[in-house]
C-alpha cells in the first residue's frame, strides 16, 4: 500500500498491512510530515508487539486505526487534508494562464499599435497630402475663377454682349421686329380675310340669293 492516499486507507485490509509500508506524503510541510511519521511509527510498534493494525478508516479529519485485538486509535489528519499555504508561486500563476503584477506600465509603440491606438503626436501640422487625404484643399489665396472653373460649377461668365442674333431670337420662340407691314394676298387669306374686291356687278344668281 505504499502508493495509497489517506482517503484510500479505509479500504485496506489487515492482510495487506505488514509494517514495511511507507505512508504517502500527500503534501509538504513539517506538520504533515510529523503526522505521517507518527502513523508509520505506531503501526511498526504494534507489529513488533504482535498486535498489528488490522484496518484504517477515515472519519472527517481523523484517521482511525483498528488493531488486531480490536482496540483503536485516532490520528488528526487535518494537516494532511487542509492546505493553509494560499500563496501561488510565479509558476503557479503562469500555469493558470495569468501573469504576476507587472510594475512596468510603459507601453512600447508596438503595444500601443496592437491596442488600436497611436502614440501621442506633438506635430499638429498637416501636410498637403494629409489635407488631401481628408478630402479638403489647402487654403488658396487665388480666389479668381477661370472660365473653365465657372463652367465646372454650372455657371457662365458675365457676357457683356447683349445683342441677340436672329437665330437666338428664334430659339427663344420669338421673331425679329419686321418693318414690312404690307400683307400679301396669301397672308390676308391665312388670317381669314379677303383683299378688297373691285368688281361690284352682281349676277342674277347673286341677286336671287339676296332675296331680290
Mean pLDDT for 9-21 is 46
Tell me the residue length of the chain: 212
Q: Please list, in sequence order, all residues whose beta carbon lies within 8 angstroms of the beta carbon of residue 174, skipping any fewer than 6 positions away.
A: none
Q: What CA–CA distance (Å, rounded) separates 110 from 114?
A: 6
Mean pLDDT for 14-24 is 45
Q: pTM of whole model > 0.85?
A: no
Q: What CA–CA distance (Å, rounded) separates 51 from 146?
A: 121
Q: What CA–CA distance (Å, rounded) separates 64 from 72?
A: 7
Across the chain, mean pLDDT equals 73
Mean pLDDT for 77-88 is 69
Q: Please list, in sequence order, all residues whose beta carbon lies within 8 angstroms of the beta carbon of residue 200, skipping any fewer than 6 positions away.
A: none
Mean pLDDT for 163-187 is 81
Mean pLDDT for 8-29 is 44
pLDDT band at 196 (very low <50, low <70, confident <90, very high): confident
Of 32-36, 53-57, 133-137, 148-152, the poorest mean pLDDT is in 32-36
- Quick one: cell of 29? 510541510
Q: Please list, in sequence order, all residues whose beta carbon lies within 8 angstroms of the beta carbon of residue 204, skipping any fewer than 6 positions away.
A: none
Amino acid at each position: 500500500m505504499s502508493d495509497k492516499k489517506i482517503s484510500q486507507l479505509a479500504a485496506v485490509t489487515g492482510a495487506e498491512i505488514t509494517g514495511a509500508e511507507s505512508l504517502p506524503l500527500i503534501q509538504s510541510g513539517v506538520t504533515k510530515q510529523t503526522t505521517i511519521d507518527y502513523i508509520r511509527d505506531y503501526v511498526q510498534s504494534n507489529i513488533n508487539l504482535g498486535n498489528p493494525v488490522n484496518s484504517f478508516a477515515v472519519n472527517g479529519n481523523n484517521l482511525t486505526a483498528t488493531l488486531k485485538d480490536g482496540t483503536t486509535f485516532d490520528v488528526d489528519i487535518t494537516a494532511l487534508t487542509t492546505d493553509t499555504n494560499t500563496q501561488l508561486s510565479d509558476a503557479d500563476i503562469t500555469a493558470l494562464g495569468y501573469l504576476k503584477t507587472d510594475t512596468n506600465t510603459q507601453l512600447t509603440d508596438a503595444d500601443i499599435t496592437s491596442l488600436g491606438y497611436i502614440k501621442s503626436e506633438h506635430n499638429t501640422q498637416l501636410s498637403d497630402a494629409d489635407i488631401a487625404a481628408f478630402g479638403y484643399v489647402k487654403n488658396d489665396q487665388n480666389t479668381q475663377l477661370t472660365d473653365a472653373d465657372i463652367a465646372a460649377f454650372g455657371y457662365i461668365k458675365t457676357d457683356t454682349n447683349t445683342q441677340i442674333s436672329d437665330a437666338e431670337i428664334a430659339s427663344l420662340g420669338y421673331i425679329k421686329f419686321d418693318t414690312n407691314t404690307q400683307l400679301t394676298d396669301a397672308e390676308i387669306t391665312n388670317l381669314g380675310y379677303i383683299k378688297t374686291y373691285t368688281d361690284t356687278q352682281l349676277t342674277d344668281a347673286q341677286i336671287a340669293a339676296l332675296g331680290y
